[in-house]
Chain A
């Protein structure tokens, strides 16, 4: 019998179940794109039939880091840039959990960039949502890794001399096996993408354009947006790595010219997840490790019997 009975119960769930009773209410600014992520995540969780208590939402620091304050599930609000290593270990410890990591563009592509690259490379079975508003919001409007070249801020008074990060291309090169971009103004597409991302076996990365009405007025509302999978103006096969790469490059090029392209950019269903790879070489147990500590019949190995002979 499982010690974690919230896992895998497959009951009907209403999207309102993921809203905390009474408090806390979101403290994001009126018109903030973060509301769009919260709404899409609630819709996706309900559609997936996930119990709030089989979900672990790990966040970084910033406005986006408060996602798990307002989404009612198990939550771990970690430190700046470090949601991914915490999240992926929790998934290894208890693979029954649905693990979602989330954070801002500074959190994921700047200070946590190394973790992003390696989590994608390893293809951990989890979802990462990056709130991309092209700015540092909570610290009041400094230039971020995705801010466009020339963007002026208090810390870059003469405009940024740096080209922005290319989040989609970086993700593809690093090894993510599901890569999408959506926008807060596009709630239905966002919900559908999150559903697919969570269902995907492997590392799914959702670059989520979240307008910051307070500090990044240049970015407007990310409208009008175009879905590259549906628009007749764009044609590419998102299971083909080269075509995906070209489409990503184009998408990143035109964003700062006012053309907002979104959609599923890369889907690789064949690549085994890290969990599958590690099980194949015998380095991850068949049963979830977290269950073992509650299994009264399990005979814990003793060093004295198991490892001492080679020292004699």
Chain B
């Protein structure tokens, strides 16, 4: 934590409006010229249970959660289970306060709703406050809310108290509330706000050495956006007008955004019976000539294995998204992990050939989802966008201009009716849609309803017109052509700039590699390490398949050692890297985390210093170091 930033944590129960309040808070500060970044923690439960959202606010760009936080707003949990002696889940009523103390930094601020929370229920509370130099504000937010409106408005009271303590201009919040609330709700909320704000000013010492929000200014218009928003927007700008899905956390976000937006642009969303159907519908719609997608999280994606293989065999373009959460099986539904990498790379029988992108943040999610569509339709191959609960849900401000792009409804490698007249047909009268030869392995496809284009699509191995065949020569020709696409795509991607991210000094002595959602956190760790006098750079890889062998080889060659950072227990990304590179086992070690919480920058700093530089052991048990093969 630095002095010039606020890391505000609003905590309460699931269903108490924590998410929407924090989103409004973040957006208001973005509008005020600041950079914001959110981090969500919530249970798999509709009502009640330990929930918080952190909003990190800084004058400079932020791309990660911080180390701990410095401002706690502890609201009540309206749906907490009754506390019982020795209850397995503990006393839920005090959790908005008790569960959040461990990560609160020294000198931090605690605001709690004394109408609902009692510090007598928390062991050693006063001693801990004393020890850590925390500033405590006990305010009866519930009563303030009740006096002017309804009890649920205690969130507004809490935000007002935050403004009073952290020197945030009330109008910044009020104008956003005015935009987002109907008048009859807005009025009482304003009374609640003012009362709470004045209470702090009157009853507490306004000059306490607390935290405050810095001044900031954006040089261009910003939008507050999540990875899920960006994936949906990338799809829409690529002319995707069909989605099929089945609800599953956290993929549901993309499905919801698409379902709400598609009717507005004349598209179709289908919520169907299961994920097998969902992926099969996307394949069917794409086969008929509409740009289509589906997606799920781990368990649902497992059901998509067969339609995914069907898309490979029938060369039907389709984009699937996979939002990872903790596994195996149902795992921890609302917590992030990066352990489905091997799952999406290899699931479904036979030799897989598919494209997998793992974007790190909202900007990459938008760009790489667009690229996924372009490749899928040009090469008639499934493309997968792999992300997780973290980068799907976290909000950050990005320049609106990122999205100032033209739509691309191009269907890729299709053949027109005019071209079909001169195209090769087989003796049965069918169009040779799967010719043995094709530029970059691609044979143009016709669409049902086109004159002269009929063919058979089949999951069996097939002849050029689609007829089922087990002829060995034909088999080898078809496999070779399909696999040739992967090399052609690799060459295309090698020509793309900025898909994979290089960060830090080029001549650095050590390297850190990561993929997907941990990239922003690693970047912050790299900055701190270099500030501390270490010499470190980062490569964040987004191209999981085809893997950027040349680019990664060059990176690994350029440093003494590489620490691979990922959120899983079996070092899947390191394994993929070694498999693709065919060597460097002695050079790559791993820093892993799989407790359901994403890395903090400080954990990566500590992990790097203790394991790579000092060859020691890691402090604590939140992360795990796995040495290189030679160590």
Q: Which residues of chain A from 60 to 111 have any CB-CB distance to chain B below 8 Å in the complex?
A: 61, 66, 68-69, 72-79, 82, 84-94, 96-97
Q: Cβ of A196 < 8 Å from any Cβ of B? A: no
Contact digits for B460-480, partner A, Cβ 8 Å, 1 yes 0 no: 100000111000000000000
Q: In the assembled complex, which residues on chain A have CB atoms less than 8 Å from the CB atom of B262?
A: 283
Q: Cβ of B244 < 8 Å from any Cβ of A? A: yes
Q: Cβ of A302 < 8 Å from any Cβ of B? A: yes
Q: In the assembled complex, which residues on chain A have CB atoms less than 8 Å from the CB atom of B459?
A: 61, 77-79
Q: Which of A20-28, A128-136, A152-160, A251-259 contacts B (4 or more CB under 8 A)?
A: A20-28
Please determine whether A302 and B407 come into contact, CB atoms closer than 8 angstroms.
yes
Q: Of B282, B283, B429, which one neighbours A21 at CB under 8 angstroms?
A: B429
Q: Which residues of chain A from 275 to 312 have any CB-CB distance to chain B below 8 Å in the complex?
A: 278, 282-285, 289-290, 292-293, 298, 300-304, 306-308, 311-312
Closest residue of chain A to B459 (Cβ to Cβ) is A79
- Minimum Cβ distance to chain A for residue B310 (Å): 5
Please determine whether B457 and A89 come into contact, CB atoms closer than 8 angstroms.
no
Q: In the assembled complex, which residues on chain B have CB atoms less than 8 Å from the CB atom of A284?
A: 268
Please determine whether B236 and A307 come into contact, CB atoms closer than 8 angstroms.
yes
Q: In the assembled complex, which residues on chain A have CB atoms less than 8 Å from the CB atom of B455?
A: 74-75
Q: Cβ of B281 < 8 Å from any Cβ of A? A: yes
Please determine whether A92 and B467 come into contact, CB atoms closer than 8 angstroms.
no
Q: Cβ of A40 < 8 Å from any Cβ of B? A: no
Q: Which residues of chain A from 1 to 24 have any CB-CB distance to chain B below 8 Å in the complex?
A: 3-7, 20-24
Q: In the assembled complex, which residues on chain B have CB atoms less than 8 Å from the CB atom of A68?
A: 456
- Minimum Cβ distance to chain B for residue A104 (Å): 16
Q: In the assembled complex, which residues on chain A have CB atoms less than 8 Å from the CB atom of B263?
A: 282-283
Query: Of residues A5, A77, A93, A118, which shows the largest number of chain B Cβ atoms within 10 Å of its Cβ?
Result: A93
Q: In the assembled complex, which residues on chain A have CB atoms less than 8 Å from the CB atom of B22?
A: none
Closest residue of chain B to A54 (Cβ to Cβ) is B449
- Are A6 and B449 CB-contacts (below 8 A) given A85-B276, A307-B233? yes
A-B contact count (CB 8 A): 232
Question: For the complex, what is the distance from the CA of A66 to the CA of B429, rounded to whole Å?
Answer: 17
Closest residue of chain B to A289 (Cβ to Cβ) is B290
Please determine whether A311 and B237 come into contact, CB atoms closer than 8 angstroms.
no
Q: Cβ of B111 < 8 Å from any Cβ of A? A: no
Q: Cβ of B530 < 8 Å from any Cβ of A? A: no
Q: Cβ of B126 < 8 Å from any Cβ of A? A: no
Q: In the assembled complex, which residues on chain B have CB atoms less than 8 Å from the CB atom of A97?
A: 288, 448-449
- Are A53 and B453 CB-contacts (below 8 A) given A72-B428, A85-B272, A301-B236? yes
Closest residue of chain B to A90 (Cβ to Cβ) is B288
Q: Which of B78-86, B115-123, B222-230, B334-342 contacts A (4 or more CB under 8 A)?
A: B222-230
Question: For the complex, what is the distance from the CA of A308 to the CA of B281, rounded to whole Å?
Answer: 29
Q: In the assembled complex, which residues on chain A have CB atoms less than 8 Å from the CB atom of B448?
A: 4, 53, 56, 74, 90, 94, 97
Q: Cβ of B622 < 8 Å from any Cβ of A? A: no
Please determine whether B261 and A82 come into contact, CB atoms closer than 8 angstroms.
no
Please determine whether A114 and B236 come into contact, CB atoms closer than 8 angstroms.
no
- Minimum Cβ distance to chain B for residue A101 (Å): 10
Please determine whether A93 and B289 come into contact, CB atoms closer than 8 angstroms.
yes
- Minimum Cβ distance to chain B for residue A92 (Å): 6
Q: In the assembled complex, which residues on chain A have CB atoms less than 8 Å from the CB atom of B237?
A: 302-303
Contact digits for A259-279, partner B, Cβ 8 Å, 1 yes 0 no: 000000000000000000010
Q: Of A53, A90, A301, which one neighbours B450 at CB under 8 angstroms?
A: A53
Q: Which residues of chain A from 106 to 122 have any CB-CB distance to chain B below 8 Å in the complex?
A: 114-115, 117-118
Q: Cβ of A145 < 8 Å from any Cβ of B? A: no
Q: Which residues of chain B from 402 to 434 have any CB-CB distance to chain A below 8 Å in the complex?
A: 403-407, 409, 411, 416-417, 427-430
Q: Which residues of chain B from 197 to 237 have any CB-CB distance to chain A below 8 Å in the complex?
A: 221-225, 229, 233, 236-237
Please determine whether B429 and A20 come into contact, CB atoms closer than 8 angstroms.
yes
Q: Cβ of A52 < 8 Å from any Cβ of B? A: yes
Please determine whether A53 and B281 come into contact, CB atoms closer than 8 angstroms.
no
26 contacts between A and B (CB under 8 A): A4-B451, A5-B450, A21-B429, A52-B454, A74-B455, A79-B309, A86-B281, A86-B283, A89-B292, A92-B242, A92-B270, A93-B242, A114-B273, A278-B268, A282-B263, A283-B262, A283-B263, A285-B267, A285-B268, A289-B242, A289-B285, A292-B241, A298-B409, A300-B407, A302-B407, A311-B223
Spell out A's residues near B (CB within 8 Å).
3-7, 20-24, 52-54, 56, 58, 61, 66, 68-69, 72-79, 82, 84-94, 96-97, 114-115, 117-118, 278, 282-285, 289-290, 292-293, 298, 300-304, 306-308, 311-312
Kindly list the 10 A-B residue pairs having the minimum CB-CB distance in the complex, ordered from nearest.
A4-B449, A89-B284, A77-B458, A86-B284, A85-B280, A20-B428, A311-B223, A93-B288, A89-B281, A285-B266
